[in-house]
Structure 1
Amino acid sequence: MFKIISGLILVCMLSACASADFGSPNTYLRYDVQRIGQFEQATILRVRPITIESNSGSSGIASIVSAAAGAFLGSQVIGNGSGRYVAGALSGSVSGLVAQRVSAAMSRHSVEVFLRRANGETVVVTQVDDQQFVAGQQVFLVSNGTRYRLTH
């Protein structure tokens, strides 16, 4: 029973990593709800595609830990004798591959948008590219005091 619960915990931890969000203008955090924010109109000067990378410093460690945990659980749950070593090696390899895929999925395609505010000041905002923007377009620059997002 302990082995099954340990395996489920590992799968839940990996799936939690895959659901990370990088600041979509369509997604609000719990503490952003029911708070007063500011907005202003701005004109887009330029849009440039970028990639927001996941924390690459810890992704190698996560892969190693996932592979080790997968190898241990695989060797404990599957097979007897020398078969358990094969099962451990296979499940460790699969766990490491899954961790790498999750890390790659966390890198999101995004945009860097150059704006001219109504007062003439130019600013740059980066965010996930789930909305399309083009130069010359009027958009709303929304602020909650610490973060900015763009929307139509």
Structure 2
Amino acid sequence: MFKLLISIALLSLLTACASADFGSPNTYQRYDVQHLGQMEQATIIRVRQVTIESSSDSSGLTSIVSSAASAFLGSQIIGNGRGRYISGALSGAAAGFISQHVSAAMSRHSGVEVFLRRANGQTVVVTQVDDQQFAPGEHVYLVSSGSGYRITH
């Protein structure tokens, strides 16, 4: 029974670990490398903490794969008769539940919404992950590329 629980938990975590891309200003996508981008200076007006949510696995594919694999493993670990089918069904249901909740938790990341005043006086807003700290009045660079805008020091 202990092996069954460990197998379910491990498989659920592994299938739910599909990493969401939140577009870090410190990470470039392959299609942005060696392409011309634009850069301009801007002044930060306001910074607000936000939560960024990714819907990268809205299909539930990780839950289905996790449930099926766990049901198979559960049916192989316990018994030969009807207990085998019951353990398979229970382990599959538990794995689906766990992977769905782990995947939902991993699809959220903390971010910042930054209000900027461009050199031409126009005010714009950029939202990105919070791996850089910004403060009102700070002068930063607003960088545009094929994947959108990012703010950096």
TM score, norm. by length of structure 1? 0.78
Which residue does 1:124 correspond to in 2? Answer: 125
Residue equivalent to 1:3: none
Aligned amino acid, residue 30 of structure 1: R
Query: Partners in 1 of 2:132 and 2:101 — Cα distance?
Result: 28
Q: 2: CA distance between counterparts of 1:21 and 1:145? A: 16
What residue identity is the alignment partner of 1:124?
A: V
Q: Distance in 2 between matches of 1:90 and 1:13?
A: 15
Structure-2 residue corresponding to 1:65 = 64
Name the CA shift for 1:88/1:145 in 2 (closer, same or farther; >3 Å): closer
Call closer, same or farther: CA 1:96–1:103 in 2, change over 3 Å: same
* 1:14 aligned partner: 16
2:32 and 2:146 in contact (8 A); partners too: no
Q: Which amino acid aligns with 1:151?
A: T
> Any conservation in 2 of the 1:36–1:144 contact (CA below 8 Å)?
yes
Amino acid corresponding to residue 45 of structure 2 in structure 1:
L
**Paired residue secondary structure (2:34):** coil
CA contact (8 A) 2:67 2:92 kept: no
Q: CA offset at residue 74 of structure 1?
A: 2.9
Mapped contact 1:42–1:115 kept (Cα < 8 A): yes
Identity across aligned pairs (percent)? Answer: 50
Structure 2 CA distance for aligned equivalents of residues 67 and 117 of structure 1: 48
Contact kept? 2:15, 2:63, Cα under 8 Å? no
Following TM superposition, by how much is the alpha carbon of 1:83 offset from its aligned partner in structure 2, in angstroms?
Answer: 3.5
The CA distance in 2 between the partners of 1:57 and 1:98, in whole Å, is 11
- RMSD between aligned alpha carbons? 2.9
* 1:81 matched residue in structure 2: 81
SS at match of 1:103: helix
Larger relative helix fraction: 1
- Structure 2 residue runs without a partner (length 5+): 1-7
Aligned to 1:134: 135
In the alignment, residue 117 of structure 1 is paired with which amino acid? R
In structure 2, what is the Cα distance between the partners aligned to 1:74 and 1:86?
9
**Cα offset, 1:133, TM superposition:** 0.7
Aligned letter for 1:92?
A
Residue 140 of structure 1: SS of its match in structure 2?
Answer: strand
Alignment TM-score, normalising by the size of structure 2:
0.77
Q: Distance in 2 between matches of 1:92 and 1:71?
A: 8
Aligned partner of residue 58 in structure 1, secondary structure:
coil
Structure 1 segments unaligned to the other structure (5+ residues):
1-6
SS in 1 for 2:68: helix
Answering whether residue 121 of structure 2 is matched by residue 98 of structure 1, we say no
